[in-house]
Structure 1
Amino acid sequence: MKNWPKVKLGTLLTESKVLSENPSTDNRIRVKLNVLGVEKRPVTKDKKGATKYYIRKAGQFIYGKQNLHKGAFGIIPKELDGFESSQDIPAFDVDDSCYPEWIFYFFKKGNFYLKLDGFAKGVGSKRIQPNQIYDLEIYLPNKDEQKKILNEIKKAEFKNREILNEIYLQEENLVRLRKSILKDAAEGVLTMDWRKEHPNIESADIFIQKIKLKKESLIKQKKIKQDKSTDSLITDNCDWKLNNSWTIATLNDIFSFIDYRGKTPSKSLEGKRLITAKNIRFGYIQDEPIEYVSQDVYDKYMIRGFPKNKDILFVTEGHTIGYTALVDVPFEFALAQRTICFQPYLEKMETEFFFYLFLNDQFQSIILDNQTGSAVKGIKSSKLKMIPIPIPPIDEQKIIIKKVKGLLKNCSNLNEVIRSNKENSVKLFQTILLELLGEENNKLIVENKTRRNVKKSLSRDIKYNDKTINMKLVELLKLHGKLHAEDLWKMSEYYDDKNINDSIDKFYSDLKTKIEIEKTIKEVTNEKGYIELV
């Protein structure tokens, strides 16, 4: 391997620029992220403009300028011969001295493509241009040796795929097992033997009566308002299986609903945490994004109450409708729109049972069946309140919670083993790639962004104003006129000094939309890095 010559990648790749004379939206290709290959792009309407499209040929190496460092590269397959892409997805003829697959695995081995992140340049949208990868060095043995090695790689890849397919099957079975546990919990299967051993337990009707008395007391004390909802009881898909001593009640019978009604709350750089629908995942609360509201905004919740630990959060709108999480955080927080907090009328109630019930497939189906809306679908609070749910006696709820916790912990342990096996399989294949292909040790000279930004800051007119922060991009440009991208970012709603990378990504994503699609903002001609309104 040490005797293999090294050549510049640019000596092997020639960008293909065969212009399509009759471009068609039905004849486009795209490159998927995470090295998942090249495929036909779904038919979409062409945006107005003078975008040029180029004919692509089977066997060409192709990559996405904006996403090469995210694994958007591949070889054009035979079935996509003659398809088209724009110059943002360039394709390259490969020199006869090299198999296209040799270049493909050059980028894949050791996840080398991830290291190209720093190559991406631009203001509105960051791209990696062909001339930036041309200087990369690649080992180039003769074609006979390339073919022999590529055959070995394909054998290893086949075995690795067999292992991964088995792992994927294990993952699917684990998902089914979790669903089965939640279903058995909601139907009382997990406590079947327990009920036989405890025939004289207190009925769930008595439990509901206690909640009713507590609710009436809270209304009299004017701590909550009398519900005036006129929605009828939801019946579709609500044929819950009930056991002896179980009963049916609505969510409104059990919980007080806390939500934010009004405009999207103004965010601040500090204050009380804000939990949004993005934080609520299926079964847990994730920390990102970290956002805040002022104390004044938080105090508005005094009217409706505050979320507490052991309450249940629920997403009411959007593609994550039905996502639910049990509150267990060491801080006070406010809720954003599209979320609701279910707070039990009885303070010491075992809410975990209801949390598991909300994760159940049947409950999730009820939510989807009752969502409304066109552009963004959601479910109204008044509808949620009228969903009937099965209620076991309080003692049985405690047993169900204990059993489900134990079973789900076993599932988590199994998942950890599966995850570890998947990682080991991927690492093994990467080791094989590096052993077979070698490591060129390309020195990626990436400009230090921090040092560059400091240098630019010292040599330009800085318009940053800390009194006009947390604003939308267009509003900032209307107020200040032409701004450097760095100043625009630091004063925008996206700036977050605790999570710089995510903050910059969100900023550039919105900037790109406004430059390329909405065309409300443009880059200043002859003043690199500056932005202004169109």
Structure 2
Amino acid sequence: MTKITNKFLHFANYKDIPNWSVQYADEEDLGFTKKYPMARIGSFLVKSQDVIEVQDDIEYKQVTIKINNGGVVPRNNGATIKGLKIGTKRQHVVHAGQFIMSKIDARNGAYGIVPKELEGAIVTNDFPVFDVDAEKIVPQFLVLISTTDNFIEFARKCSSGTTNRKRIDIDAFLNQQIPLPSVDKQEEILKEYNANIESAIQKRNEIQFWASESQEFIHNKLGIKVKEAKKVESQLQFIHLKDTMTRWDAFVETFAIESKYKIENLGRFLLSISTGMTPPTSHPEYFDGDVKFFTPSDLGSEKYLDFSSRTISNIAITNKKARIYHKGDILFVGIGSTVGKVGIVKDEIVSSNQQITGFTVDSKKINPEYVYYYLLYNREITTADQSKTTLPIVNQDKICKIPIVVPPIEAQKEIVDFLDNMYKTAKNNEKEIPLLERKALMSFESQIF
């Protein structure tokens, strides 16, 4: 016998026809558990009507929302903006504790709760703001539900518009049903989630603390004192023509460090130094081979460089269209916003682009790993002589002139051992953080799906 399911009529505005589908005419089955009562989102959210006209002579705070449950944060790094510079004059005022979403990025998990520090900030109509009935739902509970993969897929389906400006249908959002246990049960579910998230946050804080401790340790161990740079300004300055090829500044800068140990130029300990180069892109045979090709984005997270986002072929090396470095060499970012980042080559042969300079340290005179840690934790020293025009640059000559403190070999080894232990602990924490975050999410989803 054929089962016939009847539904009530539904109406859609003409402007909403692109959104219309049977999938969410009522609400979509997102696979939620049936052990709790279901409730429409619109039954505990009420759209805020606190609207103002922006005044030209008043300073305003603005709001944005990070995707993937990244939080509600101030725009412009927290800086206020005069109303005169705000194009849309009709804006909504947000209040702490309200639920807020991005129409455009709802399909990317851009939902959140307005924090206290953003009380009174303003948003355009593209960021709907809702008062939450706290007697029915804990705001964080709603945020977590709305940022699950299943809910984000629902948001994607009911968003329409041009490719990069698709907006969610607010009526469909408010009509969607979600499981709604008692507030006490919601808080119980959130307790386990938050415990795992707090552990992840604590480990992040520990990593930052250890990085700070490591820098303080090496400074104290070496007795380093950095003298502040002085700007020597004058109306008329002279510079050799040959120097304009690498350096032209508006002022002369002096820089010096003190230490209880001998200070030498880094170049005294280098057996070789060379700057990388990118093979001609017109030759596809030079790329996607077996040789790792490092760029600045590949440096910074690991002591030993094990991953590169790009590779080149042995043909590029044979045809001398790339420069190579060997196991144990140190790579130094000498051009760009991340100047001073370093790493140690792990493989027998690697290459790099022209933003990176590689050098071989004479291990008979100085510990290469000590050099790595010295450069890592003393970027204010290693980049002090960078050019101050357009792109920051520390070229080969400036690298060779980096002042490096040279304690006895035994002290170098002690520094390396201590920092290795700190590094390993930090790396272990880095591995645990995503596991804790995943555990938190799984504990929450196991309760609602």
Instruction: Show the counterpart of 1:258.
Output: 274
The structure-2 alpha-carbon separation of the partners of 1:429 and 1:301, relative to structure 1 and needing over 3 Å to count, comes to closer
Contact 2:50 2:92 survives alignment (8 Å): yes
Kindly provide the amino acid, as one letter, of the partner of residue 139 in structure 1: P
| Cα deviation, residue 136, structure 1 | 4.5
Q: For 1:128 and 1:294, how far apart are their aligned partners in 2?
A: 49
Kindly provide the amino acid, as one letter, of the partner of residue 29 in structure 1: V
Gaps of 5+ in 2: 1-32, 225-244
| Cα deviation, residue 378, structure 1 | 3.1
**Aligned partner of residue 258 in structure 2, secondary structure:** coil
Kindly provide the amino acid, as one letter, of the partner of residue 54 in structure 1: Q
> 1:363-405 CA distances to partner (integer Å, 9 max, x unpaired)?
x221343233255433333322222323456xx37x844x555
Q: For 1:166 and 1:434, how far apart are their aligned partners in 2?
A: 23
| Cα deviation, residue 343, structure 1 | 2.8
The structure-2 alpha-carbon separation of the partners of 1:290 and 1:19, relative to structure 1 and needing over 3 Å to count, comes to farther
| Cα deviation, residue 278, structure 1 | 1.1
Given the alignment of the two structures, is residue 5 of structure 1 paired with residue 37 of structure 2, yes or no?
yes
> 1:324-364 CA distances to partner (integer Å, 9 max, x unpaired)?
0111125442x213211123478998533322322233xx2
Q: For 1:330 and 1:68, how far apart are their aligned partners in 2?
A: 47
More divergent stretch after superposition (318-327 vs 352-361):
352-361
1:469-508, aligned counterparts within 5 Å?
Answer: none
Partner residue of 1:311 out of 326, 329, 344: 329
More helix by percentage = 1
**Aligned partner of residue 127 in structure 2, secondary structure:** coil
The structure-2 alpha-carbon separation of the partners of 1:300 and 1:18, relative to structure 1 and needing over 3 Å to count, comes to farther
Instruction: Show the counterpart of 1:179.
Output: 215
| Cα deviation, residue 177, structure 1 | 4.5
**Aligned partner of residue 359 in structure 2, secondary structure:** strand
Contact 2:370 2:416 survives alignment (8 Å): no
Instruction: Show the counterpart of 1:359.
Output: 376
Q: For 1:134 and 1:325, how far apart are their aligned partners in 2?
A: 51
The structure-2 alpha-carbon separation of the partners of 1:162 and 1:291, relative to structure 1 and needing over 3 Å to count, comes to closer
| Cα deviation, residue 36, structure 1 | 4.7
Partner residue of 1:104 out of 143, 148, 156: 143
Contact 2:247 2:387 survives alignment (8 Å): no
The structure-2 alpha-carbon separation of the partners of 1:156 and 1:51, relative to structure 1 and needing over 3 Å to count, comes to same
Partner residue of 2:310 out of 287, 290, 305: 290
Given the alignment of the two structures, is residue 54 of structure 1 paired with residue 91 of structure 2, yes or no?
yes
Contact 2:373 2:416 survives alignment (8 Å): no
Given the alignment of the two structures, is residue 86 of structure 1 paired with residue 124 of structure 2, yes or no?
yes
The structure-2 alpha-carbon separation of the partners of 1:280 and 1:139, relative to structure 1 and needing over 3 Å to count, comes to same
1:364-443, aligned counterparts within 5 Å?
Answer: 364-391=379-406, 396=409, 400-401=412-413, 403=414, 406-415=417-426, 418=429, 426=437, 429-430=440-441, 433-434=444-445, 438-439=447-448, 441=449
The structure-2 alpha-carbon separation of the partners of 1:356 and 1:104, relative to structure 1 and needing over 3 Å to count, comes to closer
The structure-2 alpha-carbon separation of the partners of 1:355 and 1:27, relative to structure 1 and needing over 3 Å to count, comes to closer
Contact 2:53 2:89 survives alignment (8 Å): no
The structure-2 alpha-carbon separation of the partners of 1:276 and 1:97, relative to structure 1 and needing over 3 Å to count, comes to same
Q: For 1:176 and 1:96, how far apart are their aligned partners in 2?
A: 41
| Cα deviation, residue 311, structure 1 | 1.1
> 1:6-46 CA distances to partner (integer Å, 9 max, x unpaired)?
24546665766877543777242112355353233234699
The structure-2 alpha-carbon separation of the partners of 1:187 and 1:229, relative to structure 1 and needing over 3 Å to count, comes to farther
Given the alignment of the two structures, is residue 35 of structure 1 paired with residue 69 of structure 2, yes or no?
yes
Q: How many residues align?
A: 378
1:177-216, aligned counterparts within 5 Å?
Answer: 177-179=213-215, 182-183=218-219
Instruction: Show the counterpart of 1:445.
Output: none
Kindly provide the amino acid, as one letter, of the partner of residue 124 in structure 2: S
| Cα deviation, residue 239, structure 1 | 1.8
Instruction: Show the counterpart of 1:497.
Output: none
More strand by percentage = 2
The structure-2 alpha-carbon separation of the partners of 1:88 and 1:296, relative to structure 1 and needing over 3 Å to count, comes to farther
| Cα deviation, residue 313, structure 1 | 0.4
Instruction: Show the counterpart of 1:206.
Output: none
Kindly provide the amino acid, as one letter, of the partner of residue 380 in structure 1: N
Partner residue of 2:288 out of 270, 274, 280: 270
**Aligned partner of residue 305 in structure 2, secondary structure:** coil
| Cα deviation, residue 106, structure 1 | 2.2
Question: Aligned residues: percent identity?
Answer: 21
**Aligned partner of residue 399 in structure 2, secondary structure:** helix
Q: For 2:311 and 2:73, how far apart are their aligned partners in 1?
A: 38
**Aligned partner of residue 324 in structure 2, secondary structure:** coil
Gaps of 5+ in 1: 189-227, 442-534
RMSD of equivalent CA atoms = 4.9
Contact 1:75 1:100 survives alignment (8 Å): no
TM-score, length basis structure 2: 0.64
